[in-house]
Chains A and B, each alone.
Chain A
Amino acid sequence: MSHLAPTLLAFFTPRSGGSPNANEIDSLYKIVLYLAIVIFVGVVGVLCYALYKFRARRGRVAQQIHGNTRLELGWTAGAVGILVIIAIAMFLKLGAIVNPPDSGATGITLGADGESGRLYASATRHLPPNGKSLEITVVGRQFIWQYIYPGGAGDGLGAPYSFEEMVVPTETTVTLNVVSDDVVHSWWIPELGGKLQAVPGYHNYGWFKISKPGVYKGQCANICGRGHARMIATVRALPPAQFEEWLATQKRELSESEAAAASERAKLDAQRGTAQVENP
């Protein structure tokens, strides 16, 4: 029985538990839910009572009432009052939802060498108080997500990247820069907070911070074509040391394959005698 209540509540609430912003949204949702239940039960209760009590039957005469100004002003004020409460709750919770916290003490070291973490100042984006976060660019593309990690050259080229599965360190504030290469997509991992639409030509910013290692699943939430349902996204959270290891491996493998491709190209060019031709 004691297990039933939380299960039932989870049934009626959004997924959460991966990141503080998702948890804050969940608690804001619950405030609205409790008010909603009261209003729904109240209105339906009055409706059912009226339908039963005032049903036509022998001797029943309808009261010819045209209105009641005081009552009408009263319930208008009541409706306003409820919405004011919801608005206050929304603004109280807003900060914790949109403002990312600093990384935890056990998170990865950020911002030392431009290797990880970038400083941004912009009216539309929120950064942790110390300005340091692991910045990952999320690229929406029919029908796969690509993630670009910090660590490229100055122009961003040569940065490590991965497809479909994003790997992140725990206890580290991750800021997302969501963009699209083609049509409108929407980045969404339910346990890690709300959606961010990927609109071509725009940047959309968000964040999450995971404390428990694990895999969090989601998928593209905006119709993007025939493969929309298969545009899966996962986030794998690893302890910082393992993350650093993964990132190093990813970089090494990428540069190795780049080098291999370059030597293949050189070989082909030599065979065709085009090595001397300048790029047009």
Chain B
Amino acid sequence: MATYAAPVPQIVAHRAEREQKGFMSWLTTTDHKRIGIMYLVLTFVFFILGGTEALMIRLQLGAPDNTLVSPQTYNQLFTMHGTTMVFLFVVPVWAGFANYFLPLMIGARDMAFPRLNALSFWLLAAGGLVFYASIFWNPPEAGWTSYTPLSNAFFSPGGGQDAWIYLVHLTGLSSIVGAINFYVTVANMRAKGMSWGRLPLFIWAILTYSVLIIVAMPVIAAAVTMLLTDRHFGTHFFDPTAGGSSLLWQNLFWFFGHPEVYIMVLPAFGMVSEILPVFARKPIFGYKAIAISTTAIGFLGFLVWVHHMFSTPIPEAVIIFAALSSFCIAVPTGVKIFNWLGTLWQGAIEFKVPLMYCAGFIVLFLIGGISGVFLAVFPVDWQLNETYFVVAHIHFVLVGGAVMPVFGAIYYWFPKITGRMLGETLGKWSFWLMFVGVLATFLIQHVIGLEGMPRRVYEYENVHNLALYNLISTIGAFILAAGVGVTIVNVMRSLKKGAVAGPDPWKANTLEWFTPSPPPQNNFDVVPVVRSVEPMKDIRREIELGSGAVVPAGATVPAGATQVGL
């Protein structure tokens, strides 16, 4: 009779792998945190480029009948500005944050497909490179919407338009690959106990963002492919003189273009839903309502694209449908705002910089949301579309609704990424300059549009006080830029000189704060079991109760005690 020895518990010692260093290690990395950092740095470079283009636009419009730049250059500037901010900044910056923090927040050790993850970053870099290379030849000049026939080979013979097409292809592919990766990771690699109802709200937003990308991006990919073959291979998809339809472009573009807006702002909403409870020191108000409204906005976002086409020759029934579905979208959006107010209500609000950006976001996004209701009322839209009123609307939504939370996220997560705090004083300066800058730049643009100034004009006559209003807007843009500059200085200083953050400087709620700052390559030596939507708060409470069940890695260990390997 064979005898079996009882298994002996044993500790297997691995040689600690040396941390990879040097240029090549970054080029070849598949670590989600390094890829996330590269995403954030690259998208910020594009943010600065797009911002510089915006300042040149505002300089040209600072005075009536200005001749600072030529009409051609002006058209190139607004085309580059819009394309850069949408395709190379706001969409991928969320992919950057999600890359770094999604695995950490769900208690995973990396993304599901680390090499696909690297691919999505390098596709983005390639798209940006192809697009910006065009400035040495013929930058595109048909606007970021590239309506045909203006963007066809006859009216835009330059290669810049093709560079734009490849940019859309490459960044689109990058986004799709990334989105699949996010979805698969969340679906399969959540910590034990993290059911769908305990998913952080930022992760809900990234899930919805991923679904929107997977559905919308192939449509724009098809559209730009048709444009490419129209331009070079003799097809006539959009050519009305040969049986094609130029309205088809508008339909395809906006079928992608409107969900794209939510691709840009939903992660921002998720970010705000993470930050507010931490600094109000109380749970998010109505977790379910916020998660449901996120998915509802994502779904409704596919039904409203015609509201970008109210003044085109389309049947009234279609227009009315688009107007009413746009109204519907205002409901879940309003619900979110009310829930955020509910989160602050009865809290103990700490005025740290991330909280300030989120509070500023609520005001600015509210303005953008309300002006959106004006534009959904289609007879009113007939007066306001294609004017500076719309320019004001999209900037309140994108700068107020997405860029402010991006900055909130920077201040909130910088300590986790670098292990150091950003300066509070500089942060507050940056916030106030940006907040005032956005209001000064874009509030007056509503009036500019109401007075009849269309968008995308390189010059205007000084009627109805347009010179004064435009000057105010230009000054505002420089205030906004100064605010951005202060944060850049803050980041540069704090990388070396910032106060050491420790694992959990904000006393936050989610799992990324369980691991040291910056996190080790494997993220977690042990992944705690999740029992609520606020696992870190549970862990802190247990420690405070002295149960000593789980000690966060890197937390101070009482003198005399030995660190127990978990």
Contacts and interface: CB of A to CB of B under 8 A. Distances in A.
Interface of A: 11-15, 22, 24-25, 28-29, 32-33, 36, 39-40, 43-44, 46-47, 50-51, 54-57, 60-68, 71-72, 75-76, 79-80, 83, 86-87, 90, 93-94, 97-98, 123-124, 142, 182-184, 186, 188, 190, 193-197, 199-205, 217-229
Interface in B197-247: 240-241, 244-247
A222 B386 CA distance: 6
A43 B341 contact: yes
Contacts of B141: 226
Nearest to A71: B342
Interface residues of B, number: 85
Given A201-B246, A202-B247, A62 B335 contact: no
Given A54-B280, A86-B327, A201-B246, A228 B313 contact: no
B147 A226 contact: no
B529 interface: no
Interface of B: 71-72, 75, 141-143, 147, 149-150, 155, 240-241, 244-247, 280-289, 309, 311-313, 315-316, 323-324, 327-328, 330-331, 334-335, 337-339, 341-342, 344-351, 359, 362-363, 366-367, 370, 373-374, 377-387, 446-447, 450-452, 454-460, 463
A28 B311 contact: no
A125 to B, nearest CB: 10
Given A28-B379, A221-B454, A36 B374 contact: yes
A64 B335 contact: no
A190 B453 CA distance: 9
Given A183-B147, A194-B382, A222-B147, A50 B341 contact: yes
Given A32-B373, A76-B335, A90-B377, A55 B351 contact: yes
Contact of A197 (B283, B311, B378, B450): B311
19 contacts: A14-B383, A32-B377, A32-B380, A40-B366, A47-B341, A51-B344, A55-B349, A63-B347, A79-B338, A86-B327, A98-B379, A182-B155, A183-B149, A184-B147, A195-B386, A218-B452, A219-B457, A226-B141, A229-B460
Given A15-B451, A54-B349, A223-B75, A190 B316 contact: no
A190 B346 contact: no
B75 to A, nearest CB: 6
A217 B280 CA distance: 53
A18 B249 CA distance: 34
B313 A199 contact: yes
Contacts, number: 248
Contacts of B282: 62-65
Contacts of B280: 54, 62
Given A195-B382, A201-B247, A204-B311, 8 more contacts: A24-B379, A29-B380, A55-B351, A62-B347, A63-B346, A124-B313, A195-B386, A201-B241
B267 to A, nearest CB: 22
B312 A229 contact: no
Nearest to B327: A83
B331 A226 contact: no
Sorted from nearest, which 9 A-B pairs have the closest CB atoms?
Answer: A194-B382, A201-B240, A229-B457, A63-B346, A204-B313, A62-B282, A79-B334, A62-B281, A67-B286
Contacts of A228: 71, 75, 456-458
B417 to A, nearest CB: 26
A56 B281 CA distance: 9
A96 to B, nearest CB: 10
Nearest to B452: A190
B287 A67 contact: yes
B283 A65 contact: yes
A94 to B, nearest CB: 7
A190 to B, nearest CB: 4
A200 B246 contact: yes
B268 to A, nearest CB: 17
Contact of B312 (A54, A83, A199, A227): A199
